[in-house]
């Protein structure tokens, strides 16, 4: 199957059937896969990557959960099948905090994503992309599919489940919904329940995508898509990912030689990069799932849900995070009866990706406990 190169001007990106698999491996789940909001999928394909060797009995397995626009490629170079290098490279490898000399590390592309796991750009049974017909998802649905992957790999209990941002939501859902399968939990820069600020920010991003005429109700053809709308959404999101202090220090009101504000050029750069590697339908679907986040739904509230967790836990936040401020991590820390670990960073929410020394220290402490 042919496709336009990354960066082509009239499409949104994402891995598709027929592309180079890279390091991805695949698991096909026979359906129907029933979803919390009443929908179902006739089958699901999961794309995942692993590092290290699984011990007999699976006791050395660790699950890493990626954030909204991440994927299974935690560590490794960009290349065929992988448009970007690994997003947490210093955390995984020989001698790293997640030491692949001892641990078997797994990361799966999330259900609804666009890097090999079934999502809106995947082919439906009728041969056309799912598009607008793709059913609504919850964080719980995504974890249920990950649990099926764990079963297939022979992993009954994770030595640790780790994640930041949207990945932290899934990590916490694992610990709440399947406490017997999670020995340790690392919850970073995330929340137990979506707040008005996150919902407002994300619905505004969704409106930007949907306002692009190329959105076509979510049924844009392969090879095309609402790149302009996705670009606006990414600009909005990126402002919430970084801190005002950092942006002021880096850019201020400086104007470039081409007449653009430097900060506007920076945001455009990130918008273009995302549109070349990510599908707009997945962006809308996944932010909708994040907006429904409530680990206490159907469990008697957040406090009661957190009481279910038996894992040793580290809960951490970034002091300059304006997307998921520290109060939201403090709620989880209090519910789990552990201290909140605060990472100091000028980078805002993206500190969970950039402050790898501080994050790695906390991961090592958790695994040593």
Q: Torsions phi, psi of 145, nearest 5?
A: -70, -40
Q: Which residues pair with 163 in a beta bridge?
A: 65, 187
From 122, 165, 190, 282, the catalytic residue: 165
How far apart (Å, rounded) are the C-alpha atoms in residues 40 and 156? 25
Q: Are 33 and 41 in contact (CB under 8 A)?
A: yes
Beta-carbon count within 10 A of 213 CB? 9
Would you call 274 helix, strand, or coil by DSSP? helix
How far apart (Å, rounded) are the C-alpha atoms in residues 73 and 67? 12
The C-alpha angle with vertex 321 and arms to 320 and 324, in degrees rounded to 5, equals 155
Q: Which residues pair with 29 in a beta bridge?
A: 44
Residue 321 is a catalytic residue: yes
Pairing status of strand 312-318 against strand 98-99: unpaired
How far apart (Å, rounded) are the C-alpha atoms in residues 94 and 102? 8
Q: Are 155 and 57 in contact (CB under 8 A)?
A: no
Would you call 88 helix, strand, or coil by DSSP? coil
Where does residue 6 rank: exposed (0-12), middle (13-18), buried (19+ CB within 10 A)?
middle
Residue 349 is a catalytic residue: yes
Per-residue DSSP letter, 322: S
17 closest CA partner among 106, 133, 119: 119
Residue 132 is a catalytic residue: no
How far apart (Å, rounded) are the C-alpha atoms in residues 37 and 42? 15
From 121, 243, 349, 350, the catalytic residue: 349
Cα 7–chain centre separation? 22
Q: What are the catalytic residues?
A: 165, 321, 349
């Amino acid at each position: 199957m042919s496709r336009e190169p990354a960066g082509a001007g009239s499409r949104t990106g994402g891995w598709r059937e027929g592309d180079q698999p890279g390091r991805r491996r695949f698991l096909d789940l026979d359906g129907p896969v029933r979803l919390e909001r009443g929908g179902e999928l006739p089958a699901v394909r999961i794309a995942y990557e692993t590092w290290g060797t699984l011990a007999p009995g699976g006791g050395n397995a660790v699950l890493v959960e990626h954030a909204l626009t991440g994927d299974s490629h935690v560590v490794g170079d960009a290349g065929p099948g992988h448009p970007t290098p690994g997003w947490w490279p210093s955390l995984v490898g020989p001698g790293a905090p997640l030491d692949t000399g001892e641990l078997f590390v797994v990361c799966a592309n999330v259900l609804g994503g666009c890097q090999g796991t079934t999502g809106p750009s995947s082919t439906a049974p009728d041969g056309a992309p799912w598009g607008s017909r793709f059913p609504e998802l919850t964080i719980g649905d995504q974890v249920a599919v990950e649990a099926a992957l764990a079963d297939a790999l022979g992993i009954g209990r994770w030595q640790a489940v780790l994640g930041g941002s949207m990945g932290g939501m899934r990590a916490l859902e694992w610990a709440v919904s399947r406490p017997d399968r999670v020995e340790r939990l690392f919850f970073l820069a995330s929340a137990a329940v979506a707040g008005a600020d996150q919902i407002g920010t994300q619905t505004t991003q969704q409106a930007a995508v949907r306002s692009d005429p190329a959105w076509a109700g979510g049924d844009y053809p392969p090879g095309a898509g609402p790149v302009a709308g996705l670009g606006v959404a990414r600009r909005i999101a990126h402002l919430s990912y970084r801190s005002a202090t950092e942006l002021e220090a880096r850019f201020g009101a400086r104007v470039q030689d081409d007449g653009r504000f430097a900060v506007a050029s920076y945001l455009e750069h990130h918008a273009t990069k995302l549109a070349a590697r990510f599908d707009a339908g997945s962006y809308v679907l996944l932010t909708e799932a994040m907006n429904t986040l409530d680990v206490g739904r159907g469990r008697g509230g957040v406090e009661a849900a957190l009481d279910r967790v038996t894992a040793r836990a580290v809960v951490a936040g970034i002091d300059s995070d304006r997307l998921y401020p520290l109060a939201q991590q403090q709620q989880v820390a209090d519910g789990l009866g552990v201290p909140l670990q605060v990472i100091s960073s000028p980078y805002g929410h993206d500190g969970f990706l950039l402050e790898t020394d501080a994050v790695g220290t906390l991961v090592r402490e958790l695994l040593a406990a």
